[in-house]
Structure 1
């Protein structure tokens, strides 16, 4: 009989459901150089994931959420999700909560930048890494983090890449994802969707909540984050690789999405 796979202290049984055998209300699971699979799973604990280094993509409910370094994602209990990343190194802290407060915040997925106070709280909590026995200080501390999350959260829909359910739009998204460096050609995209340009623009906006142009911009910026994480290129080189003709145009576009200026890692 095959041994159960353990993920963050939860045992994976059939149908990619993780079984909770831990009695305590909340705990934290930290790992350096995180290794993960990319299949969908669910568990009956709410999850707060802090990306300390690298970046992660979370695939949830026909959306792809980017969680860059020093961001967190909140995932409600029972919400199926899968994780992908091509970052060279991914260091994560995963907080798992058995129960949450009665607030609408806790029933929805959220991604937001971590303010300095929350960052220090999360890093302090690493001293309880993988501790599954009861600890009074930890219990009170984790409740404080949980209670404060709605106040720390900002509206961060700019980190979501929607995936349309209309099959006609999938070739359009696939093409943009592969050719993001080039300008959009509405006629060419409409041909791939086998509809008129006007219909494509209307249906795409209805399906995803954003325009083709916004989708194109999101893909470019998310690709630039991957290149920045690689630490091998200057910002000017990255701007060119993702399709911008100048560093200033790239910086402006990046800021409009990420609400901060791009900063390249030091090249070794």
Structure 2
């Protein structure tokens, strides 16, 4: 809790500053929020951001915008991950900045981050660094980039979480609604209703996202080739795997591997 309190104090102790932190500060902290909005950039792996409603997956070379006072906690499973945190004071911006969203790092944003790569700490109004970082933030809403769309709804329903854990551990198997319903002593209709009522998503949609998330992890964390990864997450058709991967991530598996 001491580290947790220190982080909140560091972020919000200077309400008017823009704060730059280039380290994995927020890993595995309890759910928390800041008076400042947060721009969190991820390189070299996958970060996991949990909120009260959903789990968000942030792949390498992407960023997530977290509005001010938005409860969240961050997790990741690799030490090779490089994270940049920029915390912005509230100064009347709205629209794009009122919503949590994940987007790819554009060439322009990458160049601006490269220019400021040695900056660390607080920057105040009146300094050219403050103006530069404010411009960087303002660029985000002008780029009209497509949101990264993998986000898993969560539930407190113990029965459904047991089913999800079962599915998560057997992704390479031929999973079907009929099979899972039978294994848990339920009718297909009851299982379908459970997913739609508690998660507002179908079983097939949830399974597809679980498989693509696992594929993303394997691409970054192993030396398996794309065909091996497709089979590992339950696809016998490589074309179907590639198409589903692109549908959810806006890129082909081979492109993701290079990020």
| Band the TM-score falls in, shorter-chain normalisation | 0.7 to 0.9
Greater relative contact order: 1 or 2 (C-alpha under 8 angstroms, separation 6 or more)?
Answer: 2
Is 1:172 the counterpart of 2:167? The answer is no
Unpaired stretches in structure 2, ≥5 consecutive residues: none
Cα displacement (A) at 1:171: 1.7
Cα displacement (A) at 1:43: 2.0
2:205 counterpart (193, 210, 214): 214
Cα displacement (A) at 1:152: 3.0
* 1:109–1:240 CA distance, 2 compared to 1 (3 A): same
Report the equivalent of 2:78.
Answer: 87
Is 1:247 the counterpart of 2:242? The answer is no
2:50 counterpart (38, 51, 59): 59
Trace 1:146-225 onto structure 2 (pairs within 5 A).
Answer: 146-152=137-143, 154-156=145-147, 158-191=149-182, 195-225=186-216
Report the equivalent of 1:118.
Answer: 109
TM-score between both structures, scaled by the size of structure 2: 0.86
Report the equivalent of 2:6.
Answer: 11
Is the Cα contact below 8 Å between 1:171 and 1:192 reproduced in 2? no
Cα displacement (A) at 1:181: 1.6
For residues 58-78 of structure 1, the C-alpha deviation after alignment (integer angstroms, 9 at most, x for no partner) is: 001221100001111111112
**Structure 1 counterpart SS, 2:83:** strand
Report the equivalent of 2:34.
Answer: 43
For residues 241-264 of structure 1, the C-alpha deviation after alignment (integer angstroms, 9 at most, x for no partner) is: 111114323212211111111127
Q: Distance in 2 between matches of 1:111 and 1:265?
A: 18
Q: Distance in 1 between matches of 2:15 and 2:26?
A: 26
Report the equivalent of 2:12.
Answer: 20
* 1:11–1:34 CA distance, 2 compared to 1 (3 A): closer
How many residue pairs were aligned? 257
Q: CA RMSD in A?
A: 2.8
Unpaired stretches in structure 1, ≥5 consecutive residues: none
For residues 69-114 of structure 1, the C-alpha deviation after alignment (integer angstroms, 9 at most, x for no partner) is: 1111111112221112112411011010121434232222111112
